[in-house]
Amino acid sequence: MFDDAEVARILAITAHPDDVDFAAAGTIARWTDAGIEVTYCVVTDGDAGELDEDVPRADVPALRRAEQVAAAKCVGVHDVRFLGYPDGRVEATLDLRRDLARVIRQVRPDRLVCPTPERNYARMPASHPDHRAVGSAALDAVYPDARNPFAFPDLRDREDLAPWTVPEVWISGSPSPTHFADVTATFGRKIAALRAHESQTGHMDDLEERIPGRGVPGPADRLRRSGQRGRSGLGQDVAEDLHRVACRLGLQAELLHDLEVAVHL
């Protein structure tokens, strides 16, 4: 797998505004601090999200887009793209695969972050049908669509978007994570990003305690704590868990070698 020093661009694909902040904002803050350019692609506007019923539904998409843009700035992300699919009705269609392949070819990322397409029975919020559909479509867009010059030929012939091979994918919400990123130093910025989604987190006075997971159900379950006292102010170091997948043959061989070494240790 690539060392962060070898990565110039990362694309994070998510289903709803705030998904990326619950899943990986601390990790993303580390990447932008290291000089890596990160782009967000948000498939829906979160227009079916839980909000005060007094808020006109027609105002919700613009509100949630603005919150995501503000949250992105908290962790050093300034390129946020929205696809405008209907919240709660996303399916892994050819149209979505094409739209994600387009963004991949535009951004040309060295690393891609997306939700898991698997149902996670230990973390039901991570298994929202939109998350699973977006994860499935994103992985199909990575392979084979974005790299194949004959997949969605209009992308190349009419939009002048050359094929692109994404070397590696980091999957959030996986039932079998392979990597725990220490985000103790960036935890405060993660909280700031989540607070920027005021329509979703404004009522959570205990948001900081929910995130590391202290028996509180919900998005908190997406984090693990290392068991060592750290700098988070919560008594322990904080980590975000992801499943790393090599998508280029050479990287796949390296990953298999690392797994074999780990098995024999």
Q: What is the DSSP letter of 27?
A: H
Strands 168-172 and 37-44 come out as unpaired
Cα–Cα distance for residue pair 112/13, rounded to 1 Å: 7
Mean per-residue pLDDT, 250-262:
48
Asked if residues 77 and 66 have their Cβ atoms less than 8 Å apart, the reply is no
**Quick check: 32 pLDDT over 80?**
yes
Residue 50 has what pLDDT?
Answer: 67
pTM as predicted: 0.85
Neighbours of 174 (CB within 10 A): 22
Q: Note the pLDDT tens digit of each residue in 64-83.
A: 999 999 999 999 999 999 99
Q: How many angstroms from the chain centroid is the CA of residue 210?
A: 19
Q: Note the pLDDT tens digit of each residue in 83-139.
A: 999 999 999 999 999 999 999 999 999 999 999 999 988 877 778 999 999 999 999
Cα–Cα distance for residue pair 44/81, rounded to 1 Å: 10
